[in-house]
C-alpha cells in the first residue's frame, strides 16, 4: 500500500508572493456574447427600462418643448418683463394726448383686476425691448408701481421680424378699436410714418395704415397730414381741430396760404378757441373755381361754436368776404383793438 504524502501549509513568505502575483495579473473572464448583445446590455445599464406610459409621457414632453420653441419664435409666448427694459419711444405713437380721466380709469382697472391684455414688444440688442403697442397700459403699470412700491413689470408678447409698416398699421388698428383717434392724430401718424422711412410717401402711408377706411375718409386723413407737416410745429391744440376745421386749413394750405397761417400761430394761444380764431382770421376766402354753367358754387357754411359763457361764436366766409360774429363775449377794448389792427394788417398784405 502506497504511503500517503503529508500536506503542509505554505509559509507566510509563500502566501505573500502568491498574493502579489494575483494583484499584478488579475484573472480576466472572456465573454462569448455577440457584440450587439454587449451594446444592448450597456444601453440597458445606462438607461433603466421604463413602462409604456412613461415612454409616452417622455415623447409628449419632447413634442411640447418643440411646440413651445416654435410659439416663442412666432411671438406667441407671454413673458413678464421689467418695464425698465422696454423702450417706450421705439415707435412714434399715434396718440400724443393722454386724457387724465381715461388714464385714472385704466389704473383703477389694472389695480383691481391686474393686467389681462399683454403689450407687444420687439427684441432689441443688449436684452432690451422696443414697445410696439400698449403704451397706455405700460404707462399706467409704471405709475402704479411707483405709487405702491411694487416691482415695475409688464406682461408682454415678444414679436420678431415685424416690418415698420405693419407695426404702424397694428398700432393704429388697436387704438381705433379701443378709442377712436382724432382726425389730426390720424393724419399725424401717416406723416410721421412716411417721414421715418416706413413708407415712400404720405399717400402710401395712408393707403396701408388706413386700408380699411373709405376712400373719402382716406382723403380727409391726407388733408390732416398736410396740416401736420406745415403747421404741426406751431399748433398748441392740434387735437382740438375738428374735421371741418382741418379740411378748411388743408384747402388754405393747398391755395398757398402757408405763410399767413404760420404767421397767425407765431404767438402761442391760450386756448383751442383762441388758436382757431387766429387761424380763421388769417385764412383768405376760398378761391372761386371757374364756372362751367349751371348753379353757382356754394361757399362753405359758417362755423358756429358754443362758448362756455353761454354765448356763441360764428365765423367763415360769405360772398362779401370774412365773417366773424361773437355773441355773449366780453372782449376787453385792448384785445378788440389788437384784433382790428391785425385784420387791417392782413388787408394791407393783400
Low-confidence stretches of the chain (pLDDT < 70) are: 1-12, 14-16, 18-53, 55-56, 59, 68, 71-76, 90-99, 160-180, 196-198, 285-300, 319-320, 347-350
Q: Could you tell me if residue 65 is inside a domain?
A: no
Domain that holds residue 103: 72-162
H or E segment at 194?
helix 183-195
Residues 279, 253: contact at Cβ < 8 Å?
A: no
Check residue 43 and give its pLDDT. Answer: 57
Residues 236, 273: contact at Cβ < 8 Å?
A: no
Question: Where does a domain end: 162, 179, 201?
Answer: 162
Check residue 94 and give its pLDDT. Answer: 45
Taking phi over 0 as left and psi of -120 to 50 as alpha, with beta for the rest, 50 belongs to beta
Question: b/e string for 124-162 if b means 16 or more Cβ within 10 A?
Answer: eeeeebbbbbbbbbbbbbbbbeeeeeeebbbbbbbbeee
Check residue 177 and give its pLDDT. Answer: 42
Q: Among 220, 286, 275, which Cα is nearest to 253's?
A: 286
Question: Where does a domain end: 162, 190, 224?
Answer: 162
Q: Could you tell me if residue 24 is inside a domain?
A: no
Burial class (CB in 10 A: 0-12, 13-18, 19+), 248: buried
Q: CA-to-CA distance for 279 and 242, rounded, in angstroms?
A: 13
Give me the residues paired with residue 323 across strands.
Answer: 316
Predicted model pTM: 0.46
Q: Tens digit of pLDDT for each residue in 111-139?
A: 888 888 888 888 888 888 888 778 888 88
Same domain membership, residue 269 and residue 173: yes
Q: Could you tell me if residue 108 is inside a domain?
A: yes
Q: Could you tell me if residue 106 is inside a domain?
A: yes
Q: Could you tell me if residue 241 is inside a domain?
A: yes
Q: Identify the DSSP state of 152.
A: -
Same domain membership, residue 158 and residue 118: yes
Same domain membership, residue 154 and residue 176: no
Same domain membership, residue 212 and residue 184: yes
Domain count for the chain, please give it. 3
Residue 123 has which C-alpha cell?
427684441
Same domain membership, residue 276 and residue 214: yes
Using the structure block, give the residue that is written with the C-alpha cell 421689467.
Answer: 82
Amino acid at each position: 500500500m502506497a504511503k500517503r504524502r503529508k500536506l503542509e501549509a505554505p509559509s507566510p513568505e509563500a502566501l505573500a508572493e502568491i498574493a502579489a502575483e494575483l494583484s499584478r495579473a488579475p484573472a480576466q473572464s472572456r465573454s462569448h456574447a455577440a457584440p450587439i448583445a454587449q451594446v444592448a446590455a450597456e444601453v440597458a445599464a445606462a438607461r433603466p427600462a421604463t413602462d409604456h406610459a412613461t415612454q409616452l409621457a417622455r415623447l409628449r414632453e419632447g413634442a411640447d418643448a418643440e411646440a413651445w420653441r416654435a410659439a416663442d419664435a412666432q411671438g406667441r409666448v407671454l413673458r413678464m418683463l421689467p418695464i425698465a427694459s422696454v423702450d417706450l419711444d421705439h415707435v412714434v405713437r399715434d396718440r400724443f394726448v393722454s386724457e387724465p380721466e381715461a388714464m385714472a380709469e385704466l389704473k383703477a382697472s389694472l389695480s383691481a383686476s391686474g393686467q389681462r391684455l399683454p403689450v407687444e414688444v420687439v427684441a432689441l440688442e443688449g436684452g432690451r425691448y422696443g414697445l410696439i403697442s400698449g403704451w397706455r397700459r405700460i404707462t399706467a403699470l409704471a405709475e402704479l408701481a411707483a405709487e405702491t412700491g411694487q416691482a415695475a413689470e409688464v406682461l408682454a408678447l415678444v414679436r420678431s421680424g415685424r416690418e415698420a409698416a405693419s407695426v404702424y398699421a397694428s398700432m393704429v388698428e388697436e387704438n381705433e378699436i379701443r378709442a377712436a383717434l382724432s382726425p389730426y392724430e390720424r393724419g399725424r401718424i401717416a406723416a410721421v410714418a412716411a417721414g421715418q422711412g416706413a413708407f415712400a410717401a404720405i399717400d402710401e402711408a395712408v393707403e396701408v395704415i388706413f386700408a380699411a377706411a373709405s376712400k373719402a375718409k382716406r382723403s380727409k386723413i391726407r388733408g390732416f397730414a398736410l396740416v401736420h407737416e406745415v403747421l404741426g410745429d406751431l399748433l398748441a391744440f392740434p387735437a382740438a381741430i375738428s374735421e371741418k376745421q382741418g379740411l378748411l386749413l388743408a384747402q388754405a394750405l393747398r391755395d398757398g396760404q402757408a405763410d399767413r397761417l404760420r404767421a397767425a400761430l407765431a404767438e402761442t394761444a391760450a386756448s383751442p378757441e383762441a388758436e382757431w380764431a387766429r387761424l380763421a382770421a388769417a385764412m383768405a376766402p376760398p378761391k372761386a373755381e371757374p364756372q362751367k354753367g349751371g348753379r353757382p358754387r356754394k361757399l362753405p357754411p359758417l362755423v358756429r361754436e358754443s362758448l362756455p359763457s353761454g354765448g356763441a361764436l360764428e365765423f367763415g366766409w360769405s360772398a362779401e368776404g370774412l365773417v366773424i360774429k361773437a355773441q355773449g363775449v366780453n372782449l376787453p377794448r385792448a384785445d378788440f383793438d389788437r384784433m382790428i389792427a391785425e385784420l387791417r394788417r392782413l388787408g394791407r398784405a393783400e
